[in-house]
A and B are shown apart, each in its own frame.
Chain A
C-alpha cells in the first residue's frame, strides 16, 4: 500500500459504511455499534422555479428549464415529510440496486454534509450491495466514489455475506425480507452462490398495500398525521372527530402516497403478526387482539385480520418465504444443503413481524428432507435485525489488517473501475 497510507493505516482508520436498501440508506462510521443515520431512500423533488407559479421570481434570460437543473431536492425525513406544493417523491432504488444515480448523489451529498460532516477524501468507504448486483452497477459506484468524492479507498461487500458473518457463520442461507422483496441467498465459505439466489416481490411494501386495501374496504379513514390539526378523544369504534390542517394546494399524488405508506408501515409493524401454521380463522380468533389508534383519533381492536394479511408473506402460490428458502437450497450442490439448512440466517426489517422466524422454520421443515436438522438464526434486537449488514460492514472496515483489502485510489488510477470485480468478489 502506498500514498495516503497515513490516512487509513493502523488504527487511524476513519472509514465510513453505507448500507443502501429500499427503505433507507444506513450511514455511519466504522467501529461504531449502529449507523449514525438512517436516511429514507426517497428524495423530494420540488418544482422548477421557472414554471411561473411564483410571480415574484421573474423568469429572466437564463431560465430555460432544461439547460440547468434548478429544481430543489429534499433529502431526509425532516425535509421530505413536509407538505410542499408540487413536490414529487421518487426513490433511487430499483430491484435492490441503485437505479437513479442523480438522486442517489443528492443523498450522498447530504450524508457527507449533514451526517458525516467531514470531507469525503479523508475516509475510506465500504458499501454493501445486493447479492445480485450487476457488474455495470458495481463499476459505476466505484467510479462515482473515486471520481466525484475522491475517496482514498473503497470496498464493496454483498449484504448477505455480511449478515452471515455477523451471526458467526461462513456458510449460511440468508433469508432477507425487506421493503420491496424477500430473498434467499446461499453463502458458502464467505461467497454467494449466485446461481441459487431466489427472490420474490413479497415484502413490507406489499403488506402496506394489503393493509391499506383492507382498511379502506372497512371504511376506516386513512388521514395521515400531516392532515390532522386537532382531534378529540372518542370511544372505541366511534367515528373520529378531528379538524383538518390547512395544507398547501397542489400536493402531489406521489408525496401523498408516500406519507400514506409511512402510516401503513407503522400500522403493520404494530398490528400484524404471523401465525405459527397456515392461516386458520379459529386459531387466529383465539389470540389476544391488538389495539391501534389511527392519527385521526379513531381506534379499535384488530383480531384475526392481522394474521390474515401477514399470511400473504407465506403464500406458496406467490413464492412464500418457506418455498423461497427451500427452492434456493435445492439449487445448491447436495453436499452443502445440510450446512445451509443448519444455518438459516433471518434478517431484514420485515422479519421483525412477530412470529416470522418461527413460521419460516415450520414451513421450511415441511419442505426439507426428513430428519434434516434445521436451525434459524435471528438477531434478538430489532437494531441488529434491521442493521445487521451495516454492523457487519462496520466491524469489517475497522479491522486493522483489512486495509490491504481495500481498493486504494492509486490502484483505481492504475487499473480503473474494473478493479472492483477483482478485489471485491
Chain B
C-alpha cells in the first residue's frame, strides 16, 4: 500500500550523507502539500537526542513527521564489563495521537516509500507519544535486535 507520494532526490541525498558520509546526526522530513517529501531539519553530528526531539516537535505537538537518526550507544559484551560503541540507523514514523486523522493517514500510508528507499536503516520505529520515543525506550529497542 502506498499513496504515490514520491521521495525527493534531496531526501535520498541527505540520507546518504547520514548513512555513508556521517555528515549529520539526524534528519527530519515532512510531506509538503500532499505531493512530495522534503527535508525539514538537519542535526549536526554533535547534536544530542534532546535536540532531535525538540526539532521533531518544533512544528507543533499535533504535527506528523518522519525522521532518520544515526544512533550511537554503548553495548556491553555479554558476560564481561567491556563495552563497545555501536551505531545504528533508525527510521521513525511520528504520528502524535492528537494529530488530525488526515495527517495520520497520509504519513502512515506513505511510510512504505521511505522504508523502501532508505536502504541501510537498521530499525523502524513508529510512535504516537513522546513516551514511545524516550531515549531509554529507543535504546532498548535498538539493542533488542541481536543481529549484526
Chain A, 52-78, contact with B by CB distance < 8 Å: what is the 0/1 string? 000000000000000000000000000
Minimum distance in angstroms from A189 CB to a CB of chain B: 6
What residues of chain A lie closer than 8 Å to B128, measured between beta carbons?
167-169, 377
Residue contact A170 to B108, C-beta cutoff 8 Å? yes
Q: Which of B2-10, B15-23, B46-54, B70-78 contacts A (4 or more CB under 8 A)?
A: B2-10
**How far is it, in angstroms, between the C-alpha of A339 and the C-alpha of B101 when the chains are bound?**
21
Residue contact A391 to B101, C-beta cutoff 8 Å? yes
Residue contact A405 to B3, C-beta cutoff 8 Å? yes
Residue contact A190 to B109, C-beta cutoff 8 Å? yes
Which residue of A has the minimal Cβ distance to B109? A165
**How far is it, in angstroms, between the C-alpha of A166 and the C-alpha of B1 when the chains are bound?**
13
What residues of chain A lie closer than 8 Å to B105, measured between beta carbons?
165-166, 168, 392, 395-396
Residue contact B4 to A395, C-beta cutoff 8 Å? no
Residue contact A343 to B126, C-beta cutoff 8 Å? yes
Interface positions of A from 174 to 191, Cβ below 8 Å from B: 189-191
Question: Does A409 make an interface contact (CB < 8 A)?
Answer: no
Chain B, 119-134, contact with A by CB distance < 8 Å: what is the 0/1 string? 0000010101000100
Chain A CB within 10 Å, residue with most, of B4, B108, B126, B132: B108
Question: Does A400 make an interface contact (CB < 8 A)?
Answer: yes
Which residue of A has the minimal Cβ distance to B5? A401
**How far is it, in angstroms, between the C-alpha of A395 and the C-alpha of B31 when the chains are bound?**
15
Which residue of B has the minimal Cβ distance to A164? B108
Residue contact B1 to A404, C-beta cutoff 8 Å? no
What residues of chain A lie closer than 8 Å to B106, measured between beta carbons?
395, 399
Residue contact A401 to B1, C-beta cutoff 8 Å? no
Which of these, A191, A338, A339, A401, contacts B4 with CB under 8 Å?
A401
Question: Does A45 make an interface contact (CB < 8 A)?
Answer: no
Q: Given A189-B115, A400-B35, are A168 and B64 neighbors across the interface (CB < 8 Å)?
A: yes
Chain A CB within 10 Å, residue with most, of B4, B5, B141: B4
Question: Does A335 make an interface contact (CB < 8 A)?
Answer: yes
**How far is it, in angstroms, between the C-alpha of A178 and the C-alpha of B115 when the chains are bound?**
33
Question: Does A79 make an interface contact (CB < 8 A)?
Answer: no
Question: Does B143 make an interface contact (CB < 8 A)?
Answer: no
Which residue of B has the minimal Cβ distance to A166? B105
Residue contact A166 to B34, C-beta cutoff 8 Å? no
Which of these, A335, A391, A399, A425, contacts B3 with CB under 8 Å?
A399
What residues of chain A lie closer than 8 Å to B59, measured between beta carbons?
none
Q: Given A399-B34, A401-B4, are A165 and B126 neighbors across the interface (CB < 8 Å)?
A: no
Which of these, B35, B104, B145, contacts A401 with CB under 8 Å?
B35
**How far is it, in angstroms, between the C-alpha of A395 and the C-alpha of B105 when the chains are bound?**
7
What residues of chain A lie closer than 8 Å to B109, measured between beta carbons?
165, 170, 190, 396
Chain B CB within 10 Å, residue with most, of A165, A338, A343, A396: A165
Question: Does A273 make an interface contact (CB < 8 A)?
Answer: no
Question: Does A408 make an interface contact (CB < 8 A)?
Answer: no
What residues of chain B lie closer than 8 Å to A130, measured between beta carbons?
none
What residues of chain A lie closer than 8 Å to B102, measured between beta carbons?
395
Minimum distance in angstroms from A125 CB to a CB of chain B: 17
What residues of chain B lie closer than 8 Å to A166, measured between beta carbons?
101, 104-105
Residue contact A425 to B107, C-beta cutoff 8 Å? no
Minimum distance in angstroms from B25 CB to a CB of chain A: 24
Residue contact B5 to A168, C-beta cutoff 8 Å? no
Minimum distance in angstroms from B23 CB to a CB of chain A: 28
**How far is it, in angstroms, between the C-alpha of A165 and the C-alpha of B103 when the chains are bound?**
10
Chain A, 131-152, contact with B by CB distance < 8 Å: what is the 0/1 string? 0000000000000000000000
Interface positions of B from 89 to 148, Cβ below 8 Å from A: 93, 95-97, 99, 101-102, 104-109, 111-112, 115, 124, 126, 128, 132, 141, 144-145
Interface positions of A from 329 to 351, Cβ below 8 Å from B: 335, 338-339, 342-343
Question: Does A38 make an interface contact (CB < 8 A)?
Answer: no
What residues of chain A lie closer than 8 Å to B111, measured between beta carbons?
170, 189-190
Chain B CB within 10 Å, residue with most, of A170, A190, A391: A170
**How far is it, in angstroms, between the C-alpha of A392 and the C-alpha of B1 when the chains are bound?**
13
What residues of chain B lie closer than 8 Å to A165, measured between beta carbons?
1, 104-105, 108-109
Minimum distance in angstroms from B144 CB to a CB of chain A: 7
**How far is it, in angstroms, between the C-alpha of A395 and the C-alpha of B110 when the chains are bound?**
12
Minimum distance in angstroms from A29 CB to a CB of chain B: 15
**How far is it, in angstroms, between the C-alpha of A129 and the C-alpha of B107 when the chains are bound?**
22
What residues of chain B lie closer than 8 Å to A335, measured between beta carbons?
145
Which residue of B has the minimal Cβ distance to A400? B34
**How far is it, in angstroms, between the C-alpha of A254 and the C-alpha of B95 when the chains are bound?**
47
Residue contact A168 to B1, C-beta cutoff 8 Å? no
Minimum distance in angstroms from B79 CB to a CB of chain A: 22
Residue contact B34 to A168, C-beta cutoff 8 Å? no
**How far is it, in angstroms, between the C-alpha of A165 and the C-alpha of B1 when the chains are bound?**
10
Q: Which 9 A-B pairs have the closest CB atoms?
A: A168-B95, A168-B104, A401-B4, A190-B1, A395-B105, A170-B111, A165-B108, A404-B4, A165-B109
13 extra interface residue pairs, beta carbon distance < 8 Å, beyond A170-B109, A189-B115: A166-B101, A166-B105, A168-B128, A189-B111, A190-B111, A335-B145, A338-B144, A391-B101, A395-B105, A400-B35, A401-B35, A402-B3, A425-B1
Would you list 9 pairs from A and B whose C-beta atoms are within 8 A, ordered by A residue? Answer: A167-B128, A168-B95, A168-B96, A392-B105, A396-B3, A399-B5, A400-B35, A401-B3, A401-B4
